[in-house]
Amino acid sequence: MTRSHIVRLLTSAALALIATGCVAPRKDYAAFIAANPKSILAIPVLNNTVNVDAPDYFLSTLPVPLAERGYYVFPVNLVKRLLEDEGLADAGLVHRADPAKLAALFGADALLYVTIQKWEAKWILIQTNVTVEFDYVLKDAKTGTVIWKDHETMEYSSNSNNSGGLIGAIVSAAVAKAAPDYMPLARRANAQALAYPGPGFPAGPYRPEYQLDYPKAETQQQPPPAQPMPPQRAEAR
């Protein structure tokens, strides 16, 4: 199999993934729109896995997609360090703290709670499956109520594009097991969680389509263009 052949296969696989990834169930954004947050405080990530590095690694993937949605995102590393200085090194404590008080410390409009449910590489015979799974919850700082949430699972298998027979598969699996790369999966999970229209939230104040991208058209499959588009159809709730 030639390299170009492989690339072609992979590209079509990636495209298929996008086609499904960009279509997402509709959500009720009433609470989100009513809260109208302008700034998001991503608090330290809660870890339900045995991988002790996962929360910090994952934290580093959050600012870019959140800010690109048009919100002010508080500096996540600085926030984490300040909380540690306040005796809140344990993410569980932060997650259980009163949202209003927590937000007031920073002057935030909304708080993003992420819990890592899976961050693992499993070696099964001739294939390694790398899986990440996250719960995302956004709370309004004023009321402490949940204004948005999402759940994402991403997986990749060392075997999915293998062409080298059994030995090739074993080698691929060993490589993937020895150095599983979670970060692209984590970024993809975020991209999918925040894609809009879709599971993600509407554009924030730093995007040109702020307050113009909802109520959203039901069948739109592309991310909103830079130029604001008038809603095509009012959505019955």
Partner 1 sequence: MNARAPLLAAAVAAATLAACAPPTMYAWNNYDQAMYRHYKNPQDREAWVAALKTAVLESEQEGRRTPPGLYAEYGYALYEEGKAKDSIVYFEKEKAKWPESRVLMETMIRNANRRDGNVPPPAAKGPAGSLEKKPGSTEKKR
Nearer to partner 1, 28 or 184 (CB): 184
155, β-bridge pairs = 131
In the complex, the residues that contact partner 1 under the rule CB under 8 A are 3, 6-7, 10-11, 13-15, 17-18, 21-22, 38-39, 53, 56-57, 59-61, 63-64, 67-68, 70-78, 80-81, 84-85, 89, 105-109, 156, 158, 160-164, 168, 171-172, 175-176, 181, 183-184, 187-188, 191, 195, 206-207, 223, 225-226
Distance CA 35, CA 50 (A): 35
Least distance CB 30 / partner 1 (angstroms): 23
- The encoded tokens of residue 32 equal 């989100």
Picking from 224, 195, 199, 200, the residue whose alpha carbon sits closest to that of residue 212 is: 224
Picking from 58, 66, 20, 11, the residue whose alpha carbon sits closest to that of residue 39 is: 66
Least distance CB 29 / partner 1 (angstroms): 20
* Secondary structure letter of residue 83 according to DSSP: H
Nearer to partner 1, 67 or 137 (CB): 67
Least distance CB 10 / partner 1 (angstroms): 4
Least distance CB 122 / partner 1 (angstroms): 14
Cα angle vertex 66, ends 29, 42, to 5°?
Answer: 95
